[in-house]
């Protein structure tokens, strides 16, 4: 079915959500007076034929509220609380969501009559048990968050509220106690976004709540990776921190007349090279090494992938590595230096 035709509202929204007060009891958005909601929207949106339209649609659910309770924009606030260890490492306070959506910033919906900053402080206390009297808070501009529970007619906007408690001895960190919507809470290393995700994966087997991934990338910083494919037969290798040489052990499509004129951008060549025994493991291990370098150094990493002509194997390696890194939230830039160069016979 075309996603533009899908209508879905989770049964919990219409039952538990209404009973507990976090969902609109109205089931038909055309019966809502949108004047006040539009007036107070943190991010302007359109109402078409009486139905709200997500400014970042499509989401995959055209009508209904998916798993969210509020028709249109739901304003939230998230607490971004950081500290610095005595050896200079930045840490971030996060909670593991009880709904299984991963690790997130403490936060939640802004109640009627409440400011986003007060909501962030309240949600922090409810989910971690921590309060920081006298600390300076800064409310950042509201931003849309790509919540996996959203639809084209129900979505989340958050106001990140920052606070830093300064330098703290390891043994003196305030101990968070998870409660409310949180199943766990912890101070996590967060020198940059990749350092955070590496720690979550290695220690907790977890990941970042999808709605907070880009937000945390922007707040913590995420050094980019540059992946360049090249051919040794055309010019010297580009400057790189890691170089993968595919000339000897990787299957060579050049040997097949049917694939010789193709490149690593063609599906047949891509699958042929990646069917080489051990190649996918090499890509996985290289991606892990790149992430460790990003986490440890906080600097960009350059990777070169080479083969004889720069049209087949190197292009496939570069693509596969870039896809693997992008899937873990790393910003990747790919350049195929020699893919359009003449075929080396």
Residue 312 contacts residue 263 (beta carbons within 8 Å): yes
φ, ψ at 140 (rounded to 5°) = -90, 170
Assigned token pair, 321: 């590595």
Mean pLDDT along residues 132-148: 96
Q: Tell me how far apart the alpha carbons of residues 277 and 192 are, in angstroms, rounded to a whole number.
A: 34
pLDDT at residue 324 above 70? yes
With tokens 């350049």, the residue in question is 335
Task: Residue 269: count other Cβ atoms within 10 Å of its Cβ.
Answer: 24
Assigned token pair, 216: 């945390």
Closest CA to 103 of 206, 220, 219: 206
Q: Tell me how far apart the alpha carbons of residues 238 and 281 are, in angstroms, rounded to a whole number.
A: 24
Closest CA to 211 of 281, 264, 158, 169: 158
- Cα separation values, 152 from 15, 100, 147, Å: 21, 23, 11
Mean pLDDT along residues 249-264: 93
Q: Tell me how far apart the alpha carbons of residues 41 and 167 are, in angstroms, rounded to a whole number.
A: 37
Per-residue pLDDT of 53-65, as tens digits, reads 999 999 999 999 9
Closest CA to 12 of 149, 212, 127: 149
Residue 120 DSSP label:
H
Task: Residue 203: count other Cβ atoms within 10 Å of its Cβ.
Answer: 11
Is 287 in a helix, a strand, or coil? helix
Per-residue pLDDT of 102-115, as tens digits, reads 999 999 999 999 99
Mean pLDDT along residues 244-271: 94
Mean pLDDT along residues 93-107: 96
Per-residue pLDDT of 63-73, as tens digits, reads 999 999 999 99
Per-residue pLDDT of 263-272, as tens digits, reads 999 999 999 9
Per-residue pLDDT of 172-225, as tens digits, reads 999 999 999 999 999 999 999 999 999 999 999 999 999 999 999 999 999 899
**Cis ω before 58 (30° cut-off from 0):** yes
Cα 23 from chain centroid (whole Å): 26
Residue 170: pLDDT band by 50, 70, 90 thresholds?
confident
Per-residue pLDDT of 73-82, as tens digits, reads 999 999 999 9
pLDDT of 1 reads 43
Q: What is the CA radius of gyration of the chain?
A: 24
Complete DSSP assignment for 130-191:
---TT---EEPPPEEE--TT--SSEEEEEEEEEEEEEEE-GGGSPPP---TTEEEEEEEE-S
Residue 4: pLDDT band by 50, 70, 90 thresholds?
low
pLDDT at residue 30 above 60? yes
Closest CA to 163 of 239, 236, 82: 82
pLDDT at residue 345 above 80? no
3-state helix, strand, coil split of the chain in percent (to 5) is: 30, 25, 45
What is the pTM for the complete model shown?
0.83
Tell me the pairing of strands 332-336 and 242-245: unpaired
The residue count for the chain: 345
């Amino acid at each position: 079915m075309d996603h533009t035709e899908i209508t879905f509202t989770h049964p919990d929204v219409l039952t538990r959500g209404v009973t507990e007060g976090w969902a609109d009891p109205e089931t038909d958005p055309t019966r809502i007076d949108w004047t006040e909601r539009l007036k107070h929207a943190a991010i302007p949106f359109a109402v078409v034929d009486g139905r709200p339209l997500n400014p970042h649609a499509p989401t995959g659910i055209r009508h209904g509220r998916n798993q969210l309770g509020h028709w249109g924009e739901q304003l939230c606030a998230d607490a971004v609380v950081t500290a610095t260890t005595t050896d200079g490492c930045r840490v971030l306070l996060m909670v593991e969501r009880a709904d299984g959506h991963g690790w997130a910033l403490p936060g939640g919906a802004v109640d009627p009559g409440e400011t986003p900053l007060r909501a962030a402080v309240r949600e922090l206390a409810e989910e971690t048990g921590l309060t920081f009297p006298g600390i300076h808070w800064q409310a950042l501009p509201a931003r849309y968050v790509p919540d996996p529970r959203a639809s084209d007619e129900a979505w989340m906007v958050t106001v990140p509220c920052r606070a830093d408690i300064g330098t703290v001895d390891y043994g003196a960190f305030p101990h968070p106690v998870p409660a409310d919507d949180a199943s766990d809470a912890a101070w996590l290393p967060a020198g940059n976004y990749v350092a955070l995700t590496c720690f979550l994966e290695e220690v907790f087997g977890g990941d970042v709540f999808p709605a907070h991934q880009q937000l945390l990338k922007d707040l913590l910083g995420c050094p980019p990776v540059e992946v360049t494919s090249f051919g040794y037969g055309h010019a010297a290798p580009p400057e790189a921190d890691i170089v993968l040489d595919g000339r000897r052990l990787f299957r060579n499509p050049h040997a097949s007349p049917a694939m010789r004129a193709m490149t690593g951008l063609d599906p047949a060549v891509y699958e042929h090279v990646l069917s080489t025994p051990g190649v996918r493991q090499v890509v996985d291990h290289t991606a892990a090494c790149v992430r460790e370098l990003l986490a440890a150094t906080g600097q960009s990493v350059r990777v070169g992938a080479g083969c004889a002509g720069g049209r087949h194997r190197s292009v496939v390696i570069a693509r596969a590595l870039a896809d693997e890194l992008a899937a873990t939230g790393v910003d990747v830039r790919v350049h195929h230096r020699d893919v359009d160069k003449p075929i080396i016979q």
